[in-house]
């Protein structure tokens, strides 16, 4: 009886102590960090009400759920190394890799034997540019590209120049397209490669690749094209284009990141010097274990693109018109950068007069878009692509790239129009230059004095 009474008293004392300590901890925590029930997301010092609308498809696209479904078994149960030749796990992975190779080849009218898997279009571009010129270096010391290529091609060309090769950078017109006469005139007896991208990643213009291919064939010069932004969006045919090499990317066509492909023509055969040494996978051109889930995803994405490209194109074109007409109906001084006739509809690069691009981007926190300006900590320079088009520096600084894709909705387009118009009007209200223009003053005639 005494022991029961002692136990009861001890339990009551411990319970009261526990409640007291719990209350003290709560009050201390409240004093240190008051709880705020405020909705929204804060990241990198920017607070937004929720996840923004995604209109930056040229940077990357979301993985199509059907692509993910195809990939998952090769992460979970069919996880074998495709280069393991002695058991089922390797055999089934190898079959999956070869099936995906055929899917990629079908989208560009190539043979599966002409597809080499890489980590992405950047690696494919490096293999193409440096690999070709290094292989034929004894006879070929010159290559041709354009001023508006992707940075990985331009940097590869500069690397070759440091090694003693000559590089011709063709200019483009105000529409972003090259002059075929300039290309023809630039070809020399020692020209080893012409590298011109199919669809520009920044302004969306489509180069006359078929005509370029004919000129290269006439002069017996290999033709390489970076088709990362073209694959699955416009019809691609390696025979019609007469390309010797083509760079492809998985994550631009609703596939996974970290995988790409290089098309290498077999007849007439084009040779490259490998840029990586190792186990000799991918015919010795790109050593390293082929990542089965990623290449399965890229193959599935290419198969879907082949089936749905026509439908996607019609839908995305209608979305682009809705976006452009919606903005122009409420704003003046809106300029489309690049040709409207020769462009991929899902890429709409606009400049807004009398508005600074970075300020506009910061104001458009609810819309995920990209600026045409390249901003660094030391300086703010306008895009080299827009400079090559001859766009005025003040307009080049105001460019915004809107990327429309397979999963973009009409509601998102309408909301993007509303937010863009609001922000541009807000910034123009604060702009003395816009006030002067409204008063009829031509600001280009003003001679600004320096103090």
Neighbours of 366 (CB within 10 A): 16
- Distance between CA 412 and CA 69 in Å, rounded? 26
- Distance between CA 95 and CA 73 in Å, rounded? 14
| Coil, helix or strand at residue 368 | strand
Which of 346, 320, 337, 318 shows the shortest CA–CA distance to 254?
A: 346
| Backbone phi and psi for residue 54, each to the nearest 5 degrees, phi listed first | -100, 110
The stretches of 163-282 forming alpha helices (DSSP H) are 180-186, 209-218, 238-241
Start-to-end C-alpha separation, the chain: 98
- Distance between CA 151 and CA 291 in Å, rounded? 26
- Distance between CA 115 and CA 110 in Å, rounded? 8
| C-alpha distance from residue 264 to each of 29, 246, 274 (Å) | 64, 7, 13
Q: Please name the residues in contact with 187: beta carbons below 8 A apart, sequence gap of 6 or more.
A: 144, 194, 215, 219, 221
Q: Are 215 and 166 in contact (CB under 8 A)?
A: no
Pairing of strands 191-195, 166-170: unpaired
Give the burial string for 379-396 (b: 16+ CB within 10 Å, else e).
Answer: eeebbbbbbbbebeebbb
Q: Are 319 and 348 in contact (CB under 8 A)?
A: no
- Classify residue 71 by burial, with Cβ atoms within 10 Å: 0-12, 13-18, 19+: buried
| Coil, helix or strand at residue 166 | strand
Q: Which residue in this structure is represented by tokens 């020209």?
A: 191
Catalytic residues: 375
Q: Which residue in this structure is represented by tokens 């696209």?
A: 61
């Amino acid at each position: 009886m005494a022991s029961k009474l002692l136990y009861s008293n001890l339990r009551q004392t411990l319970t009261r102590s526990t409640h007291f300590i719990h209350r003290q901890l709560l009050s201390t925590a409240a004093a240190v960090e008051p709880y705020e029930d405020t909705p929204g997301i804060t990241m990198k010092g920017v607070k937004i009400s929720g996840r923004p609308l995604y209109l930056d498809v040229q940077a990357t696209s979301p993985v199509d759920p059907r692509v993910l479904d195809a990939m998952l078994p090769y992460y979970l149960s069919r996880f074998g190394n495709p280069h393991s030749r002695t058991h089922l796990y390797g055999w089934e992975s190898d079959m999956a890799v070869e099936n995906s190779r055929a899917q990629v080849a079908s989208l560009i009218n190539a043979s599966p034997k002409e597809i080499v898997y890489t980590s992405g279009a950047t690696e494919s571009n490096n293999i193409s540019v440096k690999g070709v010129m290094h292989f034929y270096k004894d006879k070929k010391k010159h290559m041709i590209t354009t001023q508006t290529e992707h940075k990985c091609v331009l940097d590869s060309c500069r690397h070759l120049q440091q090694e003693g090769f000559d590089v011709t950078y063709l200019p483009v017109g105000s529409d972003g397209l090259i002059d075929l006469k300039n290309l023809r005139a630039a070809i020399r007896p020692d020209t080893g490669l012409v590298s011109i991208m199919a669809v520009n990643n920044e302004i969306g213009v489509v180069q006359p690749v078929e005509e370029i291919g004919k000129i290269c064939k006439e002069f017996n010069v290999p033709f390489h094209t970076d088709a990362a932004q073209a694959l699955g969006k416009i019809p691609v045919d390696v025979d019609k284009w007469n390309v010797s090499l083509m760079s492809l990317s998985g994550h631009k066509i609703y596939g996974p990141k970290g995988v790409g492909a290089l098309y290498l023509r077999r007849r007439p055969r084009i040779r490259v010097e490998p840029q990586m040494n190792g186990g000799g996978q991918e015919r010795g051109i790109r050593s390293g274990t082929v990542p089965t889930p990623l290449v399965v995803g890229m193959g599935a994405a290419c198969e879907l693109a082949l089936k749905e490209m026509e439908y996607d194109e019609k839908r995305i074109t209608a979305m682009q018109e809705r976006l452009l007409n919606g903005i122009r109906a409420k704003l003046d001084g809106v300029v489309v950068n690049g040709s409207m006739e020769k462009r991929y509809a899902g890429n709409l690069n606009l400049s807004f007069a009398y508005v600074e691009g970075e300020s506009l981007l910061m104001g458009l926190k609810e819309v995920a878009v990209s600026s045409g300006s390249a901003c660094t900590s030391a300086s703010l320079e306008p895009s080299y692509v827009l400079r090559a088009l001859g766009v005025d520096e003040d307009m080049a600084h105001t460019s915004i790239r809107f990327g429309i894709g397979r999963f973009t909705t009409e509601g998102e387009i309408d909301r993007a129009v509303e937010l863009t118009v609001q922000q541009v009007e807000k910034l123009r209200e604060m702009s003395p230059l816009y006030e002067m223009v409204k008063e009829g003053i031509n600001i280009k005639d003003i001679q600004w004095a320096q103090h």
